[in-house]
């Protein structure tokens, strides 16, 4: 930090002394009788010369010491981008911004529990953001957004749902993620399917998958049309397209065992029953890393996959499978949910402001800068993530990413929805994840597992809400 010194300027005044002169009468001659001396008017003394006033000298005004702020970013990719952007903000606003990127989760949690937390934190998902807000560790960003002048109407509604906590906002979306169906056009054509016609219903997906499966002479799969748990579980989205969700009433009511959720799990399980759970799991275990040319979809081993917008960006398909002939379309829906085709669940990167920030006004201003359309566009384009801002989504750079518009349209669809959260969300997600593994690998009835989870977490949810600050 540069500190400007103040210099005092001493001014010496020269005071002029003026001589007052009096005049006397002339003396009488000695021979003459002395005459009374006439009274003579005293000569008026000249007025003192006005002392010149010094011209005031204004001391140079010192710039106020820069406000010191801290910004932490959980995302590990391209830390230089975040450092450079926050440096631009610091220079333009006479502040200092200490950037930590990547900020590990254990460090974030420790800081939030202490008295020296950062002023803003960018998290990879809203799950933790909601939990922190429930504990009173973060500020209401609806209030702070108003303070900073953020236009909440510029944020896609589906993206904002994940941050809603009653009338408050526990976070604000920054980058947004959603899912769509990727399909390999060459594998479609080889199987006798129209390479320009992806499935729109789950029944069509089942039929296409059967035609795209291949086995070797030993009966092991060499290619599969679709794997429900590839590249990872997408049940949150599939449940929604069946009409299900884990919560209702803004996260206050648990609906994990709803008929729609159970129907969704049974549909996913049907693949493993039909094609052999062990064979499918063994086949998938042979894939390479997700971010590599041996990704099951990139390598042509899986013909259809539900995945996110970033896969279309420069860090994935163009990098690892530049010759891949593929298409992207909305995820197929259940027959009775045809009006939901083109929608999906929405989540992604969010920003929170710790309750312990030492300068709420400065934090609000920096948050508003982060949420501005230009900054959202600049950062999310680099990661091929969806911008949460409607204005940012108009940036022509996004049109240069092949198939990216499909994801923007899904995010903007009025039926797309952000997944609800609750105070027990993390613990519930762990329990659901373990249940899903059983559903895929065994013949267990999904209804039983979901009923067990409902029974365990219903009282936990009620108690947790009662303790929310």
**Average pLDDT of the residues in 310-336:** 96
Q: Is 273:206 a contact under the CB 8 Å cutoff? A: no
Which of 145, 155, 131, 170 lies closest to 360, judged by CA? Answer: 145
At 115 the pLDDT is: 81
Question: Is residue 43 over pLDDT 60?
Answer: no
CA 459 to chain CA centroid, nearest Å: 32
Higher pLDDT, 323 or 64: 323
**Average pLDDT of the residues in 350-377:** 96
> What rounded mean pLDDT belongs to the chain?
88
Enter the CATH code of domain 67-174+349-418.
3.40.190.10
Residue 208 makes CB contacts below 8 A (sequence gap 6+) with 188, 191, 193, 199, 225, 226, 303, 304
How do residues 204-227 score in pLDDT, each as one tens digit? 999 999 999 999 999 999 999 999
Q: What is the DSSP string of 131-156?
A: HHHHTT-B--HHHHHHHHT--GGGB-
The number of residues in the chain equals 469
**Average pLDDT of the residues in 40-65:** 56
How do residues 244-290 score in pLDDT, each as one tens digit? 999 998 889 999 999 999 999 999 999 999 999 999 999 999 999 99
pLDDT band at 321 (very low <50, low <70, confident <90, very high): very high
Domain ranges of the chain: 67-174+349-418, 179-343+423-466
| pTM (two decimals) | 0.84
At 198 the pLDDT is: 98
Shared fold status for 67-174+349-418 and 179-343+423-466: yes
Q: Is 376:387 a contact under the CB 8 Å cutoff? A: yes
pLDDT band at 57 (very low <50, low <70, confident <90, very high): low
Q: Is 162:250 a contact under the CB 8 Å cutoff? A: no
d(CA 324, CA 89): 40
At 133 the pLDDT is: 87
How do residues 158-190 score in pLDDT, each as one tens digit? 999 999 887 889 999 999 999 999 999 999 999
**Mapping DSSP to helix (H, G, I), strand (E, B) and coil, where does residue 411 land?**
helix
Looking only at the bridges linking them, the beta strands covering 253-254 and 214-215 are unpaired
Q: Is 418:158 a contact under the CB 8 Å cutoff? A: yes
The CATH number, out of the four listed (3.10.129.10, 3.40.190.10, 3.40.50.720, 3.40.50.800), of the domain defined by the range 179-343+423-466: 3.40.190.10
At 447 the pLDDT is: 98
d(CA 314, CA 154): 27
Tokens of 245: 């969700």
Question: Is residue 37 over pLDDT 80?
Answer: no
**Average pLDDT of the residues in 365-378:** 97
Which of 392, 381, 383, 461 lies closest to 422, judged by CA? Answer: 461
Torsion of CA 326, 329, 332, 337, to 10 degrees: -170
At 277 the pLDDT is: 96
User: What number of other Cβ atoms are within 10 A of residue 48's Cβ?
Assistant: 11
Torsion of CA 77, 82, 84, 85, to 10 degrees: 140
d(CA 381, CA 175): 10
């Amino acid at each position: 930090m540069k500190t400007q010194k103040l210099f005092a300027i001493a001014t010496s005044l020269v005071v002029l002394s003026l001589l007052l002169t009096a005049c006397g009468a002339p003396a009488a001659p000695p021979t003459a009788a002395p005459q009374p001396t006439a009274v003579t008017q005293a000569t008026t003394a000249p007025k003192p010369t006005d002392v010149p006033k010094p011209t005031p000298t204004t001391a140079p005004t010192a710039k106020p010491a820069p406000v010191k702020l801290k910004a932490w970013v959980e995302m590990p990719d391209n830390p230089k981008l975040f450092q450079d952007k926050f440096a631009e903000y610091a220079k333009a606003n006479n502040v200092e911004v200490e950037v930590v990127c990547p900020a590990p989760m254990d460090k974030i949690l420790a800081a939030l529990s202490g008295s020296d937390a950062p002023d803003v934190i960018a998290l990879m998902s809203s799950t933790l953001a909601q939990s922190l807000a429930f504990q009173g560790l973060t500020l209401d960003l609806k209030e702070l957004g108003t303070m900073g002048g953020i236009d909440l109407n510029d944020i896609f509604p589906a993206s904002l749902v994940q941050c809603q906590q009653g009338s408050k906002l526990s976070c604000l979306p920054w980058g947004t993620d959603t899912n769509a169906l990727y399909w390999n056009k060459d594998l479609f054509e080889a199987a006798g399917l129209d390479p320009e016609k992806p499935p729109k219903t789950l029944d069509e997906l089942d039929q296409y998958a059967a035609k795209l499966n291949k086995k070797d002479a030993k009966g092991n799969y060499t290619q599969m049309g679709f794997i429900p748990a590839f590249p990872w579980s997408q049940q949150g989205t599939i449940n929604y397209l069946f009409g299900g969700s884990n919560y209702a009433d803004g996260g206050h009511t648990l609906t994990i065992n709803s008929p729609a959720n159970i129907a969704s799990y049974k549909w996913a399980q049907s693949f493993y029953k039909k094609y052999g759970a062990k064979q499918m799991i063994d086949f998938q275990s042979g894939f390479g890393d997700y971010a590599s040319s041996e990704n099951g979809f990139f390598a042509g081993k899986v013909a259809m996959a539900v995945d996110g917008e970033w896969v279309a960006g420069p860090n994935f398909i163009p990098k690892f499978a530049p010759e891949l002939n593929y298409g992207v379309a909305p995820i197929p829906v259940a027959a009775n949910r045809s009006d939901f085709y083109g929608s999906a669940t929405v989540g992604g990167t969010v920003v929170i402001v710790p309750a312990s920030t030492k300068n709420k006004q400065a934090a609000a201003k920096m948050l508003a800068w982060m949420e501005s359309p230009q900054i959202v566009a600049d950062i999310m384009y680099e990661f091929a993530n969806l911008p949460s801002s409607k204005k940012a989504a108009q940036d022509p750079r996004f049109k240069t990413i092949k198939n990216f518009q499909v994801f923007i349209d899904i995010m903007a669809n009025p039926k797309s929805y952000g997944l609800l959260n609750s105070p027990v969300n993390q613990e519930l997600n762990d329990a659901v994840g373990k249940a899903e593994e059983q559903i895929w690998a065994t013949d267990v009835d999904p209804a039983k597992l979901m009923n067990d989870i409902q029974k365990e977490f219903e009282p936990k949810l009620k108690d947790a809400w009662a303790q929310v600050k």
